[in-house]
Amino acid sequence: MAEHFAVTGGARLQGSVDVVGAKNSVLKLMAAALLAEGTTTLTNCPEILDVPLMADVLRSLGCGVTVERDTVAIDVPARLGAEADYRSVSKLRASVCVLGPLIARCRRAVVPLPGGDAIGSRPLDMHQAGLQRLGATTEIEHGRVVARGDVLRGAQIWLDFPSVGATENILMAAVLADGTTVIDNAAREPEIVDLAAMLTQMGAKIEGIGTSTLSVHGVTALQPTEHRVIGDRIVGATWAFAAAMTRGEVTVRGVDPHHLDLVLDKLRSAGAETEAGTQEFTVRMDGRPGAIDFVTLPYPGFATDLQPMAIALSAVADGTSMITENVFEARFRFVDEMVRLGADARTDGHHAVVRGVERLSSAPVWASDIRAGAGLVLAGLCAEGVTQVWDVEHIDRGYPRFVENLQGLGADVERVLTDPL
């Protein structure tokens, strides 16, 4: 038996939806807890599978972890294990973010290589180069990253590209290094600001938070803390696209609209009206969205995680859109599934050209990753008939209560358990 989502197209989404903490923040914050002995508590955590998986990674290092509804408590022992368990890490790519905290705390870290995935190859060269600049040695041995560094010393580090994961790992190693580390061309995603804010609460000394130059003055020890995870801007933006595509009106609560300045501007260019408060915003669309171009870039550029939503919107827009993907080379693979739904889309290298059609037509489609899956569901909302979206475990990894939230907004969507197609 396997689950799929049955999406009946045609509904106009209306109402309000609450968004909880960001997947891409909570997993790093859980790793950051390793930096201080004692109990760190995170609230507003999303109830998604990745959280218990990350809890298993931390348990394999000797921590006690309890996950209760939206609260995760991590009890970190004085002596941490330095070797992350292969089985836990292999299920969760993001668990590579324990590398920085482990080398900082244990002077040694062994983390299985997570490997590539459906959106493209995901090397760790910048993570390794950064740790090496701090004085660690890193090698790949038997499919694992093995890092050693008896003394970590502050250093000047230039990243070739503002990698989110590399910035996080280097930052988490640098907070306990000797002296000052400067990370140039650092990623500036709101999730990195959230991580830096939590590290600061724990006693870290970080300047330039939210900019592309982070200066970290190492301290000898950090204290555990209590922290509320920031709202998930990618989930919030998914609802914004859903509202615009279905010509509906949706209020999204729990996300800072400034994290979506560019997204909301793009939706206005497509004809939507938007209103923003402090932790909420509304998107309303009366007619058919107009075609607009999207270019994915590191924050504050248009997020690569929203590229499938951009393709889905373009597929039903009035006119032709060009979408350029600059972050993950294989992220257009899912476009073939959109074509199955009747989208007029062609890709060539980094570019996709999408000629909008009035209405898509339902088909069985397969989600290859979290965001591709969400994009396919949005397309299904604008397709005639019942679209079956398979491999929904990907969607469940990033979107808590996805079906329930869609139903709350008036969509005709069911989770169905049947024999696989």
Q: Which residues bind ligand UD1 (CB under 6 A)?
A: 24, 27, 94, 121-127, 161, 163-166, 303-305, 327-328
Name the catalytic one among 75, 117, 125, 184. 117
By DSSP bridging, strand 71-76 and strand 64-68 are antiparallel
Find the shortest distance in angstroms from Cβ 126 to ligand UD1: 3
Would you list the DSSP string of 43-69?
ES---STHHHHHHHHHHHTT-EEEEET
Least distance to ligand UD1, CB of residue 198, Å: 15
Contacts of residue 61, defined as CB under 8 A and 6 or more positions apart, other chains included, come to: 34, 80, 81, 82, 83, 84, 98, 102
Strand order in the sheet with 249-253: 14-18, 249-253, 280-284, 273-276
β 38-43/273-276 pair status:
unpaired
**CB 344 → ligand UD1: shortest distance, Å?**
26
Q: 3-class secondary structure for 356-389?
A: CCCCEECCEEECCCHHHHHHHHHHHHCEECEEEE
Please enumerate in sequence order all residues whose Cβ is within 8 A of that of 160, keeping only pairs 6 or more positions apart, or say none: 126, 185
Alpha carbon distance 52, 166 (integer Å): 23
The nearer residue to ligand UD1, 237 or 291, going by C-beta atoms, is 237
Which is nearer to ligand UD1, 160 or 178 (by Cβ)? Answer: 160
Q: What token pair was written down for 334?
A: 């899912």
Q: Is the dihedral of CA 261, 301, 49, 375 positive or negative?
A: positive
Select 97 or 411, whichever has its Cβ closest to ligand UD1: 97
Half-sphere exposure of 360 (CA within 13 A, CB side): 39
Taking the least distance from each CB to ligand UD1, the nearer of 192 and 411 is: 192
Q: How far apart, in whole angstroms, are the C-alpha atoms of residue 49 and residue 341?
A: 28
Q: How far is the CB of 249 from ligand UD1 (least distance, A)?
A: 28
Q: Which residues contact 59 (CB under 8 A, 6 or more apart)?
A: 65, 88
Cβ proximity to ligand UD1, 325 vs 391, nearer residue: 325
- State the DSSP H helix or E strand holding residue 355, giving kind and residue range, or none if neither: strand 351-355
Smallest separation, CB 352 to ligand UD1 (Å): 17
Query: Which is closer to ligand UD1, CB of 261 or CB of 273?
Result: 261
Cβ 98 to ligand UD1, closest distance in Å? Answer: 12
Closest of 232, 210, 198 to residue 28, by C-alpha: 198
Nearest position to ligand UD1, beta carbon: 165
Choose between 27 and 104: whose C-beta lies nearer to ligand UD1. Answer: 27
The C-alpha atoms of residue 327 and residue 175 are separated, in whole angstroms, by 28
344 is catalytic: no
CB of 262 to ligand UD1, least distance (A): 13
Residues labelled catalytic: 117
